[in-house]
Structure 1
Amino acid sequence: MKKAILYFFVLMSLHSVAQKNNIDSSQKDSSTQIKKVLVEKRVVFDTQKVITYDTIRVVELAKSNEFAKKKTVKETVEQTVEETLESDKPDLSKIFSPGKIFWSIIVCLLAYILIRLLVIIVERFAERSTNHRITLKSISPIIRIIGWTLAAIIIIQGIFQPPMSTVIAAMASVGIAIGFASQDIIKNIFGGIMIIFDRPFQVGDKIEVGDYYGEVKEIGLRSTRIVTKDDSLVSLPNAEVVNKAVSNANAGEANCQVVAEIYLPLDINTDMVRQIAKEAAQVSRYIYLNKPIVVLFFNEVKDRRSFLKMRLKAYVSDIRNEFAFQSDMTEIVISELVKKGIIKKEELM
């Protein structure tokens, strides 16, 4: 399109120059030359386009050189346009010189070190603070995004300094290539961005996605990493996380509800068991007393036998101690029930 506009305005200008200088009819017949050049070059142009700086420069050059060299309109148009477009091509040897490549590597290394250092500092502060731990941990992915974005801007605009047209063309080419080659990666990246800004959960939360339940350790651009109760690190693709139902146990709070389940005989005294269960939760060192303790009973059949299932619900003060609190409540309740002769060990499941 750019080349078509240049051809058009150069030819129009030459036609005007020919009329002013009384050139013979073979050179004044610019309309025929216009048609021939455009047909040969297979160019389509839009006369409503705005004349750019490049177009004006080509026109002025054509006016000054055409009749001095006594060339035909076609020769002048082709030579002038080709020379102008050739002069607009960026010098890649200057843009990607060894010195600039060296400094871009230095910037990447410094960015990596600074980002890593800031994340470590934030993580350490988060581990020392119970009340603000989750808030501090949620800053880590934002630090990474801002840090690498600034590094990319410094490298492109501060070091290489390519022409804007080159940047746009490169971005378009890279975008098309990535779009065809790695659609799944792009889905995961957009999923990661949605998670960071929509915030259905954050680093430090306990979430359940599909068959996996654990604490969110990291929200990356490609995947979300959680640590399960058996201390396994699971990486979940962000596209999968976004498209599935996510259960958040604490939603940014330091505390969360913990449930301990115990199967008991049907003829047991539920009032006495309820009192023992509440006391067992209260004496645990992990208890969060600002929220209620609830004890529920359900009839359930298991292995062709009927049982009374007790569910003890209480809140742990620090979600990192969720499983320790669950184990603590279960052990204390069973110990007290056996000690008081309410149940026998062989009656437990």
Structure 2
Amino acid sequence: MMIQTSRLFNSCTAMLRRLTIWLFLILCAPINAFANKSSEEAVTQNDPVSTMLEMFRWEGLVASFFVILASWIILRFADSLVEKLGSIFADKRLLIQKISAFFHFAVYIATIVSVVLLSFKVSKEILVILSGTGAVALGFALKDLTASLMSGIMIMFDRPFQVGDRINFGDQYGDVIAIGLRSVKLQTLDDSTVTIPNNMFLAQVTSCGNYGVVDMQVMVDFHIGIDQDVVKAREIIQEVAANTRFIYLPKPIKVIVSQVVIDSCVALRLRLKAYVLDTKYEKDFETDITLHVMKLFAESGIQPPAVLHREIKKAVVVEEQPESAA
């Protein structure tokens, strides 16, 4: 009887031991799985390629494409609208172009923010990557673009010139048609579009002819001989300037006379300073005045500069007579 009880106790103990082992294994299985998953995530996090792939929202790339397309359509429509409104309301043309420039900035910034939020997963890991070597490399690659972006913002707030102004920058002269995030577009008088990076305007001198208004001062030079009737010539220039259809009469008309040397020839320069009604008529204004003044100069007998020959009289030398011998 004692032997049977002992055997029963041993079998129960063995079964209890096995049950305990199975329970331990069952309880440890989730822990092992979590540990394996954590190790796999750690390996994945250490893999830069996998991390870069996880940064993208692949479903958001299609939406980003449509956002960019919509922004492009909106900007094209805005440009055509500004052009039509500028032709209808000529006196408000510069104001409309300024509003258009700010609208372009707003659309650019909204598009960039929308594309970033739709296409990338902004997480702690991404911030760590961008603040590391990738950010440094990106900073060196985009330093010129960043400088142009900051310069564009400074141009918009400091306003050395505005959209619609006629400026002289380096060897380029024309109208500012757009101030973008990266560059300024300048339309020259020969109808060429010149693109200038924004950061160049911070290091060089820019001359603005009208600065936010439509009218602008124009200088036209005339040269006559020093032996001509300069008073009559000055009256002709003032009369022609006052009667041209391109003149802006609320501002003064001046004719400045000075003596200059042209090709080793002394001449009188008559410089007209008058204001044209609109900057787009600058060359028409200059041509109209030049044609009428030259016609009246010819009718009045006023001649251009010429080399004058002077007659130099020979000096009479009186020779002293020798004293007679005593």
Q: Please give the per-residue CA displacement for 1:132-169, whole angstroms capped at 9, x wherever unaligned.
A: 11121122332222113223333444x45724435534
- 1:94 to 1:214, Cα distance in 2 relative to 1, 3 A: closer
Query: Which residue pairs with 2:258 in the alignment?
Result: 298
What TM-score comes out, normalization by structure 1 length?
Answer: 0.69
Query: Which residue pairs with 2:155 in the alignment?
Result: 195
2:77 matches 1:129: no
Share of identical aligned residues, percent? 30
Match of 1:286, SS? Answer: coil
The more displaced of 258-267 and 173-182 is: 173-182
Partner Cα separation in structure 2 for residue 334 and residue 220 of structure 1: 44
Partner Cα separation in structure 2 for residue 127 and residue 230 of structure 1: 20
Query: Which residue pairs with 1:214 in the alignment?
Result: 174
2:283 matches 1:334: no
- 1:90 to 1:328, Cα distance in 2 relative to 1, 3 A: same
The more displaced of 122-131 and 106-115 is: 122-131
The more displaced of 276-285 and 182-191 is: 182-191
What TM-score comes out, normalization by structure 2 length?
Answer: 0.73
Q: Please give the per-residue CA displacement for 1:157-197, whole angstroms capped at 9, x wherever unaligned.
A: 4x457244355346546643332124323222222221122
1:295, distance to aligned residue in structure 2 (A): 0.4
Partner Cα separation in structure 2 for residue 69 and residue 112 of structure 1: 58
1:242, distance to aligned residue in structure 2 (A): 1.6
Match runs of 1:1-349 below 5 Å? 69=28, 96-97=57-58, 99-157=59-117, 159-160=118-119, 162-165=121-124, 168-169=127-128, 172=131, 175-341=135-301, 343-344=302-303
Partner Cα separation in structure 2 for residue 83 and residue 309 of structure 1: 86
Match of 1:113, SS? Answer: helix
- 1:321 to 1:172, Cα distance in 2 relative to 1, 3 A: farther
Match of 1:307, SS? Answer: strand
- 1:170 to 1:141, Cα distance in 2 relative to 1, 3 A: farther
Match of 1:202, SS? Answer: coil
The aligned amino acid for 1:295 is V
1:78, distance to aligned residue in structure 2 (A): 7.9
- Tell me, which stretches of 5 or more residues in structure 1 are unaligned? 1-64
1:87, distance to aligned residue in structure 2 (A): 10
- 1:127 to 1:199, Cα distance in 2 relative to 1, 3 A: farther
Q: Please give the per-residue CA displacement for 1:304-349, whole angstroms capped at 9, x wherever unaligned.
A: 11000110111011111111111111111111111222x24796xx
CA contact (8 A) 2:55 2:120 kept: no
Partner Cα separation in structure 2 for residue 91 and residue 226 of structure 1: 40
CA contact (8 A) 2:145 2:182 kept: yes
- Tell me, which stretches of 5 or more residues in structure 2 are unaligned? 1-23, 307-326
Partner Cα separation in structure 1 for residue 190 and residue 78 of structure 2: 29
The more displaced of 267-276 and 163-172 is: 163-172
Match of 1:273, SS? Answer: helix
Partner Cα separation in structure 1 for residue 104 and residue 157 of structure 2: 14
Match of 1:264, SS? Answer: strand
Partner Cα separation in structure 1 for residue 113 and residue 305 of structure 2: 69
CA contact (8 A) 2:223 2:305 kept: no
The aligned amino acid for 1:304 is S
CA contact (8 A) 1:130 1:254 kept: no
1:126, distance to aligned residue in structure 2 (A): 2.0
1:281, distance to aligned residue in structure 2 (A): 0.7
Match of 1:247, SS? Answer: strand
- 1:317 to 1:83, Cα distance in 2 relative to 1, 3 A: same
1:203, distance to aligned residue in structure 2 (A): 1.4
CA contact (8 A) 2:249 2:275 kept: yes
Number of equivalent positions: 276
Match of 1:257, SS? Answer: strand
The structure with the largest alpha-carbon Rg is: 2
